[in-house]
Amino acid sequence: MTTPDSDVVEVALEALATDARAWRGSAQVLHKAGQAANSYSLTNFHMGYLAGLVDVTNKYAEVQALAVRLLGEGTAAMCEFADVLDKVAEDYLATDTASAGTFVTIEGPR
Which tens digit of pLDDT belongs to each residue from 16-75? 999 999 999 999 999 999 999 999 888 777 777 787 788 888 899 999 999 999 999 999
> Residue 106 above 70 pLDDT?
no
CA distance 32 to 28: 6
**In whole angstroms, how far apart are CA 45 and each of 9, 50, 51, 62?**
61, 10, 9, 18
Residue 15 pLDDT:
96
Residue 30 pLDDT:
98
Chain-centroid distance, C-alpha 30: 10
Segment 2-9 mean pLDDT: 81
Taking residue 65's Cβ as centre, other Cβ atoms within 10 Å add up to: 12
The answer to pTM > 0.85 is no
